[in-house]
Amino acid sequence: MTVLVTGARGFLGGAVVRALLERGYAVRTFQRGRSELDGVDERRGSVADRGAVDAAMDGVDAVVHLAAKVSFHGRPSEFDDVNITGSANVVSAARAAGVERFVFVSTPSVAHAGDSLVGVGAGRADPDRARGDYARTKAVAELAALAADSAAMPIVAVRPHIVWGPGDTQLVARVVDRAKAGRLPLLGHGAALIDTTYVDNAADAIVAALRRVPDVHGEAFVVSNGEPRPVGDLLADICTAAGAPAPTLRVPAALARAAGGVVERVWRVRPGTDEPPMTRFLAEQLSTAHWFDQRRTREALAWRPRVSLDQGIERLAAYYAR
134 is catalytic: yes
Beta carbons of 2 and 101 less than 8 angstroms apart: no
Contacts of 4 (CB under 8 A, 6+ apart): 28, 29, 30, 56, 57, 60, 62, 63, 64, 99
Looking only at the bridges linking them, the beta strands covering 229-230 and 193-194 are antiparallel
Q: How far apart are CA 150 and CA 184, in angstroms?
A: 46
Q: How far apart are CA 226 and CA 308, in angstroms?
A: 9
Q: Considering just the CA atoms, what is the radius of gyration of the chain in Å?
A: 19
Catalytic entry in 134, 198, 319, 320: 134
Exposure of 173 by Cβ count < 10 A (0-12 exposed, 13-18 middle, 19+ buried)?
Answer: middle
Catalytic residues: 134
